[in-house]
Structure 1
């Protein structure tokens, strides 16, 4: 099955598996072998397996500050609260203390997502039953309002690194929620362009890292502006950061790739289909500022995900001595064919000696 963006839902799983290596572990084998009619059913299956495994290892705990009136002192004494208790003739001390708790933001996100997926009509009964068993282990965890989640403030460390993939799946689910008009329940919208773009970018980079390890560099790197050495720092800070999606290097050759996922690959100008001008200017700027010595060893590529449009760009130009290409990756094929398309890109630009 495909989603409404023309992508095999199974390929969304494969992209997630490259973006998050934990999905390639054996306990996810059943998910990899299953067919899905809806992307929310895929996410439900992943969470059922992943959270179940996390429960076996123990839910993540964080210290949270609690304020309670107790008969004996625990932690710090709250003077004003204790005086108030004495006035009310309560023989209690106002205490403030820290306690390890499972009721933290990470588990709250998991519980909220699981609860919503249980109610989603696009999730199979089997996966709903699995999630209902899991949610019983979250009785000490509160649900959280979607507007209260600050995704960019979540920090992963050694004690909760296993949560990163799970929380990212939760993000895809919760960020794609709309409230229905009947009974105030939630359901999942289509996997949005923004979601696919983030996943698509990370997938392509991780694929190159894992399957072309001979590359001396495969990362998301920043390109510095080619400015005179005496340019004042106060002026440089006003320039935008040139952050590449993918920066590949083999010996003296460099390929900068900008991944793009749009509903429309081409733009229309005067009834004529053309490449997005902003994207072309961007990749050309990256290339020319990287190739400061004008060697021609730096190339650039716009890598679009194929849409339902009849025109799919596949062309190359030499601009100012550097090769600039526009390619299209078809995600609506068997994964081995997607892999072959990516391998061909590397083989074309980096021929190993």
Structure 2
């Protein structure tokens, strides 16, 4: 299996049949078909002449003969995928898109292999631990023509079936079974990911899980089946692995028909993931009794319509940090996350947007554009809004993403509340 690792919005992936770091013409066709099916009318790809670059998209795309790993573009100089993978794993773990806790030692191990292996390793390992604690069984309704009365007798069916066989009884009863929707979903996700497993230990664990799932039927997983799954005291230990299974099944399996080309992806839009991550870290920074954090705040309009007196042009900053004064939230800092390379300065439109925010929120003294920290960072600008009262500033700041502890430390320093 060929693996190609590239950086989002930085490296081009191109067609060149003889190079291991490039696509063949067949692989190119499969990839384009997959992207057109998965991301139709979405601006996540930049095309060139038989080459492609992913914009605002990270994760892994698994085709039949090639695995394409797309990492954040944080390390631009050392060309070490592990540095970028470490930050992505940190964000996925904190935002619960990888619903398992990754400590520093575990993350250090995972950052050395591509995301497809990481996903397979985590899912199979967590599933193996869950089923070893006990295969979940639930009650399922069953109808059967048997030689003794069990459950309730279905009279009309009994008369039709047993008019000449008086020793039988056509019954409906509940039976404790492993063939329940939860196990069917877990097995379906295992079948998606297993063909791409190369590690011998994982393969052994997978075959052992298949043996435990022997009475679990292979079914097509749809929304109606997912909605029947409920977490209770008996299956609570399956909760994390269930979320992983849903992520795998939601990752868009595809068949191209004539060549039976199967694909799945584990992809995230980087703008969204970065914003979710910052939000989770801010919750850990701000004391609940002293501050209030609003996400995607819609409390201000930019203009007032003179004919109707109503506000118009909705403002929606990513985060509004307010001090609680006698229980009343007073906005003091506006933050907006931007997942783009800020090393050469902000986009003017971003600065205009921050100006609109900081003037609309009268009590706010600071408006911060928050970029991810990368190498070779230049002096970060800070501006004062003229004739403002209180004195207002618009500034550019950056945060480290390799460890959640580093991100929290950076946010504490930036906000300087505590």
Interval of TM-score (by shorter of Structure 1 and Structure 2): 0.5 to 0.7
How far the C-alpha of 1:60 sits from its partner, in A, is: 1.9
Query: What are the ranges of 5 or more consecutive residues in structure 2 without an aligned counterpart?
Result: 8-68, 74-83, 298-311, 376-398
Cα deviation digits, residues 264-313 of structure 1 (max 9, x gap): xxxxxxxxxxxxx98x722389789x999987445442334447997666
How far the C-alpha of 1:155 sits from its partner, in A, is: 3.1
1:282 counterpart = 2:312: no
The 8 Å contact of residues 77 and 96 in structure 1, kept in 2 or not, is answered as: yes
Of 122, 140, 143, the residue aligned with 2:218 is 143
The 8 Å contact of residues 184 and 219 in structure 2, kept in 1 or not, is answered as: yes
Q: In the alignment, what sits opposite 1:327?
A: 370
1:302 counterpart = 2:340: no
1:48 counterpart = 2:91: no
Of 80, 95, 98, the residue aligned with 2:156 is 80
Which protein shows a greater Rg? 2
Of 156, 167, 176, the residue aligned with 2:251 is 176
Cα deviation digits, residues 179-225 of structure 1 (max 9, x gap): 2325535321251429x84x65665455455x54xx443xxxxxxxx
Q: In the alignment, what sits opposite 1:107?
A: 183
Q: In the alignment, what sits opposite 1:343?
A: 409
Cα deviation digits, residues 44-98 of structure 1 (max 9, x gap): 1001211111121112222211111111111111111211122253632111111
Cα deviation digits, residues 81-131 of structure 1 (max 9, x gap): 2111222536321111112222222211111111111123xx434334432
Indicate the larger mover: 123-132 or 306-315.
Answer: 306-315
Q: How many residues align?
A: 292
After TM superposition, list the pairs within 5 Å mapping 1:149-164 onto structure 2.
Answer: 151=226, 154-164=229-239
Whole-Å separation in 1 of the counterparts to 2:91 and 2:118: 13
Whole-Å separation in 2 of the counterparts to 1:86 and 1:153: 34
Q: In the alignment, what sits opposite 1:193?
A: 269
How far the C-alpha of 1:23 sits from its partner, in A, is: 2.9
Query: What are the ranges of 5 or more consecutive residues in structure 1 without an aligned counterpart?
Result: 218-249, 260-276
Q: 1:149 to 1:102 in 2, by over 3 A?
A: same
TM-score norm. by structure 2 comes to 0.56
1:4 counterpart = 2:73: no
Q: 1:10 to 1:146 in 2, by over 3 A?
A: farther
More helix by share: 1
The 8 Å contact of residues 103 and 141 in structure 1, kept in 2 or not, is answered as: yes
> What RMSD in Å do the two structures reach over aligned CA positions?
4.3
Cα deviation digits, residues 140-196 of structure 1 (max 9, x gap): 1123314346656643233222222212212222111332325535321251429x8
Q: In the alignment, what sits opposite 2:135?
A: 59
Q: 1:295 to 1:157 in 2, by over 3 A?
A: closer
